[in-house]
């Protein structure tokens, strides 16, 4: 992005170096369910996240995201859930090195309370770390 392009982000992002699970979804009812992949998250916001993966994905690929909530201090923690389950789609994909990519995923389907929880978490982290 050049300095002349406007940023498209609506929600602030923070670094989030946690392991999450993703599964590409398919519309094909005859196709076997695709495998769940464990991968390293790069950053997160109330509107999406970026994650490192081993293969390139085109825009618009839809994923089920499973974001574990660690109960320990300093990590995402939720009063009543152990995992956030969110549907999101690929907005961009960049190769970072041979057979390693980072993809940006926009949340499509997220519960209202999970959205609020993530937004509050990001704001608290921004205030605490002074990003």
Question: Looking at the domain assignment, is residue 120 inside a domain?
Answer: yes
Q: What is the pLDDT of residue 79?
A: 65
Q: What is the pLDDT of residue 5?
A: 41
Under 8 Å between Cβ of 102 and 96: yes
Question: Looking at the domain assignment, is residue 87 inside a domain?
Answer: yes
pTM of the model: 0.81
- For residue 95, give its domain range: 14-129
**DSSP assignment of 68-125:** E---STTS---SS-SEEEEEEEEEEEEEEETTEEEEEEEEEE--HHHHHHHHHHHHHH
Question: Looking at the domain assignment, is residue 67 inside a domain?
Answer: yes
Q: What is the pLDDT of residue 86?
A: 95
Question: Looking at the domain assignment, is residue 51 inside a domain?
Answer: yes
Question: Looking at the domain assignment, is residue 18 inside a domain?
Answer: yes
Q: Which residue has the tokens 């992002």?
A: 13
Question: Looking at the domain assignment, is residue 57 inside a domain?
Answer: yes
Q: What is the pLDDT of residue 30?
A: 52
**DSSP assignment of 59-77:** TT-EEEEEEE---STTS--
Question: Looking at the domain assignment, is residue 8 inside a domain?
Answer: no
Q: What is the pLDDT of residue 55?
A: 93
Q: What is the pLDDT of residue 124?
A: 85
Assigned token pair, 74? 């300093």
Under 8 Å between Cβ of 52 and 121: no
Q: What is the pLDDT of residue 73?
A: 40
**pLDDT tens series, the chain, 131 aa:** 444 444 666 788 899 999 999 999 976 655 556 778 999 999 999 999 999 999 999 999 999 999 987 644 445 666 667 889 999 999 999 999 998 999 999 999 999 988 988 888 888 888 887 65
> Taking Cα atoms as reference points, which of 129, 25, 61, 55 lies closest to residue 43?
129
**Domains of the chain: total:** 1
3-class state of residue 126 by DSSP: helix
C-alpha distances (whole Å) from 6 to each of 2, 37, 47, 119, 122 are 9, 33, 18, 22, 22
Domain of 90, CATH number, reads: 2.40.10.220
Question: Looking at the domain assignment, is residue 78 inside a domain?
Answer: yes
């Amino acid at each position: 992005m050049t300095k002349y392009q406007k940023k498209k982000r609506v929600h602030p992002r923070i670094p989030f170096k946690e392991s999450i699970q993703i599964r590409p979804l398919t519309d094909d009812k005859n196709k076997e369910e695709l495998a769940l992949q464990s991968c390293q998250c790069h950053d997160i916001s109330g509107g999406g996240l970026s994650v490192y993966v081993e293969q390139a994905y085109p825009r618009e690929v839809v994923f089920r995201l499973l974001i574990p909530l660690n109960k320990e201090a300093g990590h995402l923690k939720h009063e009543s859930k152990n995992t956030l389950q969110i549907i999101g789609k690929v907005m961009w994909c960049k190769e970072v090195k041979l057979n390693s990519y980072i993809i940006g995923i926009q949340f499509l389907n997220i519960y209202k309370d999970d959205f609020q929880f993530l937004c509050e978490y990001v704001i608290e982290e921004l205030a605490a770390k002074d990003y």
